[in-house]
Amino acid sequence: MRTLGIFTIFITAAPLFAFAAALNAGVVNGVWFSDPNPEAGEEVRIFTAVQNSSGETVSGTVAFLVNGDIVGSVAFTVDNNEVRAVSVPYVFEDGAHEVSAYITSSQEENVVYTIAPDTSVSVAPRTKPSGQDTDLFDPASLERATTSLAVVTKTLAEVSKNVAARVKPVAESVARDIESFRDTILATSTVDTVSTVLPPQEGNKAPPKAKGEAYESFVDSSKAIVKSDGVNFWKKVAGIGLSFLALLIRWWFVLVILAVCIVFWLLVRGRRVF
């Protein structure tokens, strides 16, 4: 409907008055708005149209007034027999306002420039907080969002539990294989016997059931390696390193969380992850 109105203005645009010895150009009869029902605090554009039937190209500046005060201006150039829309942005306060436009300057002589009469507009108080969506304060929307969040949280918890149940035995098996390889490296040979650095029961222990128990196992094995005799320095370093690797594998969930945090940090800083 607004498009039809603007089209009608453009088609029927003509000077409001003219003198016999003068050529004619000017703004059409009235102004219009990008939002026909603006609210206080909302930025809208104020439009008018410059028409030219002077027989030559005209240039100048159109000023827009609200309640008699100039609130913006824009330069224009219009060829003969053309109509061109110009506009400026403006934020209204609530209440009634009178808006008009006129050509303040021109570069051509012998041209009568018409003035757009006042157009009244009533601006209503803003119905929603500036910069915020009223849907955010809708109780129904808030309830739906809360329900959705609860469902997502429950689903993630179930998925995490299932993943942990599948990964934990595998991680424990890999960790025990690493510890077995460590024991092989640390084995010391003599002419009569082969003894291991770690106590014989070390390999028969039940898998640690908690992160704290895994850490205690790492500390105990590291102390035993350090205190062992007949093992050179580099084998001790390798043994402690393998014990630490087994600890990290048992703490696989912590590593996953750390990786997620690093990826999130890189994304926040605008860096590429890969």
Domain count, the chain: 2
Both 6 and 87 in a single domain? Answer: yes
90 found inside a domain: yes
Give the residue from 66, 92, 125 where a domain finishes.
125
- Nearest to 211, CA basis, from 172, 268, 156: 172
Both 92 and 196 in a single domain? Answer: no
Both 9 and 97 in a single domain? Answer: yes
187 found inside a domain: yes
Coil/strand/helix, residue 31: coil
Q: pLDDT per position in the chain (274 positions), as tens?
A: 443 343 333 333 333 333 333 446 777 777 889 888 888 888 999 998 888 887 888 888 888 999 989 999 998 888 888 888 899 999 998 889 999 888 877 666 666 666 666 777 878 887 755 545 444 455 666 666 667 667 766 776 676 667 666 777 777 788 888 888 888 887 754 333 334 455 544 444 555 555 667 778 788 888 888 877 777 888 888 888 888 888 887 777 666 777 767 777 776 666 555 5
32 found inside a domain: yes
DSSP code per residue over 55-68: SS-EEEEEEEEETT
Both 116 and 193 in a single domain? Answer: no
Give the residue from 91, 125, 159 where a domain finishes.
125
148 found inside a domain: no
Both 84 and 192 in a single domain? Answer: no
Coil/strand/helix, residue 78: strand
Both 9 and 120 in a single domain? Answer: yes
Q: With both helix axes pointing from N to C terminus, report the angle between 139-186 and 252-268 in degrees, rounded to the nearest 10.
A: 130
CATH number at residue 15: 2.60.40.10
130 found inside a domain: no
Q: Are 51 and 78 in contact (CB under 8 A)?
A: yes
Q: Domain span at residue 23?
A: 2-125
Both 97 and 175 in a single domain? Answer: no
**pTM of whole model > 0.85?**
no
118 found inside a domain: yes
Backbone φ, ψ for residue 76 (5° rounding) = -145, 155
132 found inside a domain: no
Both 113 and 173 in a single domain? Answer: no
